[in-house]
Structure 1
Amino acid sequence: MFGIGIPELLIIAFIALIVFGPGKLPELGKALGNGVNELKKAFSKTTDPKNDNKKE
């Protein structure tokens, strides 16, 4: 991917824990997950030819 391995991810998680605190991390994780999910939905709608004629 970007050359990010387990040690780098652990360092990023530790810094996030220090900056945001343990109370905010679940909220941030949920918000990030929802954002990624919405991005996937939007991207699949633009690239999936089967969804061209469907109305929402």
Structure 2
Amino acid sequence: MANLRPGESAAVLIDYTFDTAGTFILEAVVDADEVVTEISEANNKAQLVVTVTEN
């Protein structure tokens, strides 16, 4: 993904099929190695709880 300028955002779509039912935490992390100098590192991670049910 290309670099983002201040205030910009980007969407990443990932097609994934869960093998089992349950509750899972999905986590997205950017700049994990802290290569980019930023005012705040606090917004480099997001989590989403997903509940998968059986068909």
| Structure with greater helix share of residues | 1
Please report the TM-score for the alignment, with normalisation by the length of structure 2: 0.24
Please report the TM-score for the alignment, with normalisation by the length of structure 1: 0.24
* Higher Cα Rg, which structure: 1
